[in-house]
Amino acid sequence: MTEPIAPRAAAPDAFRVLVVDDEMLYARALARELARAGAACDVAHTAADALARAAGGRYDAILLDHKLPDDDGIRIVPILRARQPGATVLVMTAFEAIPNAIQAIRQGAEDYLVKQTSVQPIVDAVMEIGRRRLVRAGIGDDAEPGCGLLGRSPVIEAAREQLRRVGARPDTTVLLTGETGCGKEVAARWLHEAFAPKGSPFVPVDCVALPGQLVESLLFGHEKGAFTGADRAVTGAFEAAGDGTLFLDEIGEMDLSLQGKLLRVLESREFTRVGSVKRLPVRARIVAATHRDLLEQARLGVFRFDLYQRLSVFPVALPPLRDRGDDVLLLAAHFVGLVCRRMGRKAETLPREVEECLRSWDFPGNVRELKNVIERALILGDSGRVELRHLPERVLRGDGVDVPIPAGTMPVDFVPGVDTLETVERRMIREALDRAGGVKAEAARLLGISRFRLLRRLERLGMKDGGEPSGP
């Protein structure tokens, strides 16, 4: 049984939350505070109640207790997400356990929150989701188009501007490219929340995880009796996306046999369920993403060139974190706040020495790696302050990638058995600085490293001014 709790100022488009918890007093207290904050809440005390409610109404967020009397909360996360594609699912628990958090997120939960005596930290976390949705849609108090992609660097601004331009063209296929962890799904979700019709679903499909025999059913759906075991009709991803967004993640991993079928659907903007001859229209915006060079994949024969042409109508390249300058500090502060809210701690500003260390690391795992680094540091600490000693050793060293020395570019005066790697490195850095006229950013580009990595190396080699080391 669900209990509706209206906000103090109810509105037809209020931020809607489903609270699922078998502790009735806690659930009511949580829902009451959410209502005071402006949300419209329903309360369910069992998994069955939650699933029934999710099959009917619309929710923007679902707060789900880990332990329910009739089922495991984490187990039903995928079912809730399938029934409420546009909702953010947050799992709650009385005890902090990293394996459970990982399992919940793998099942599709956005975050893992620890219950405390006060319900306010959870209320704050939920209402922050609502605020971000308003901001991304351009109607929040501090709304500014592009807030869903944090950063002020020119490269991320350029990517945001491209997304804004294509936002008004839902029939144009968008291809997001970039390294793993650089925020391709974040960009797709921002595009959806900023430009898709209000309340329309965002449906992500992981092309890596598509099982061979069920691919067509997952994407296009099937009719009852279409194959052995098909005891009911099932809606596929294209149909479930409606007039929202279908996000095809890691499209470069899709099997060749499916690529031809996808190409036909993209060209005709129509599809058929398995076991049916009725053609259904594709109304959703199609956004694909990959970390691979699809053109090179096409040349190797593992990706269809015609599909590449069809997908790359509007390509948007998302920059790696190492090219985004001080965005690393803005993002780090954002993640500190995010993790501290979940832990019930007061977030503190980053110490200067931590900022310098983060600046000097290239983050090959990009934004995802930065978030993991911040979360690990806060778990190891006892407050909302990130301590230098809690950062991973690779980040503390800041020397994960050596200055490359391409074949044929070895200095002509290199003396085998006499010169060391350090002397050669100094020589190359001095030469790069000379060619760049002393501009460190340009010298770093010539060396194939980031500006922060170059500054770190100059400091380590005692060459802060770009000259010879000051010491012996």
Q: Between the ranges 302-316, 333-347, 435-449, where is the mean pLDDT highest? A: 302-316
89 and 65 Cβ atoms separated by less than 8 Å: no
How much is the average pLDDT of 172-178?
Answer: 96
How much is the average pLDDT of 117-124?
Answer: 84
The yes or no reply on domain 154-317 and CATH 3.40.50.300 is yes
Query: Which residue ranges does the chain devote to CATH 1.10.8.60?
Result: 327-397
Q: Return the pLDDT at 110.
A: 76
Rg from Cα positions in the chain: 25
Distance from C-alpha of 297 to C-alpha of 285, rounded to nearest angstrom: 24
Q: Return the pLDDT at 268.
A: 93
Query: Which residue ranges does the chain devote to CATH 3.40.50.2300?
Result: 3-137
Residue 5 pLDDT level (bands cut at 50, 70, 90): low
Query: Which residue ranges does the chain devote to CATH 1.10.10?
Result: 402-472
Mean pLDDT of the chain: 81
Q: What's the distance, CA 371 to chain centroid?
A: 10
Token readout for 59 is 């929710």
Residue 418 pLDDT level (bands cut at 50, 70, 90): low
Model confidence at 122: pLDDT above 90: no
More confident residue, 111 or 201: 201
More confident residue, 213 or 57: 57
What is the total residue count of the chain? 472
How much is the average pLDDT of 343-360?
Answer: 88
Query: Residue 212 carries which DSSP code?
Result: G
Classify residue 19 as exposed, middle or buried by CB count within 10 Å of its CB (0-12, 13-18, 19+): buried
Q: Return the pLDDT at 408.
A: 40
Model confidence at 231: pLDDT above 80: no
Residue 409 pLDDT level (bands cut at 50, 70, 90): very low
Model confidence at 265: pLDDT above 80: yes
The yes or no reply on domain 3-137 and CATH 3.40.50.2300 is yes
Q: Return the pLDDT at 283.
A: 93
CB atoms < 10 A from the CB of 170, how many? Answer: 20
pLDDT tens for 76-107 read: 998 898 888 778 888 888 766 656 666 777 67
More confident residue, 205 or 456: 205
% pLDDT > 70, the chain: 82
Give the residue from 293, 73, 76, 316 showing the smallest Cα distance to 184.
316
More confident residue, 178 or 93: 178
Query: Which residue ranges does the chain devote to CATH 3.40.50.300?
Result: 154-317
Q: How distant, in Å, are the alpha carbons of 73, 149, 157, 158 from that of 165?
A: 41, 15, 12, 11
Model confidence at 420: pLDDT above 50: yes
Whole-prediction pTM: 0.58
Among 146-150, 345-349, 402-406, 414-418, where is mean pLDDT lowest? Answer: 402-406
Please, where are the H alpha helices in 269-365? 294-299, 305-311, 327-343, 352-360
Q: Return the pLDDT at 8.
A: 41
Beta-bridge partner residues of 3: 43
> Thinking of the domain 402-472, which architecture would CATH place it in?
Orthogonal Bundle (1.10)
The CATH code belonging to domain 327-397 is: 1.10.8.60
Q: Return the pLDDT at 465.
A: 61
More confident residue, 156 or 232: 156
Among 153-157, 158-162, 255-259, where is mean pLDDT lowest? Answer: 255-259
Q: Return the pLDDT at 63.
A: 93
Beta-bridge partner residues of 63: 19, 90
Distance from C-alpha of 178 to C-alpha of 47, rounded to nearest angstrom: 39
Residue 321 pLDDT level (bands cut at 50, 70, 90): very high
pLDDT tens for 196-230 read: 988 889 999 888 766 655 677 788 888 887 776 66
How much is the average pLDDT of 440-460?
Answer: 77
Pairing of strands 40-44, 3-5: antiparallel
Distance from C-alpha of 71 to C-alpha of 77, rounded to nearest angstrom: 11
Q: Between the ranges 62-76, 131-145, 193-207, 297-311, where is the mean pLDDT highest? A: 297-311
Model confidence at 75: pLDDT above 60: yes
% pLDDT > 90, the chain: 30
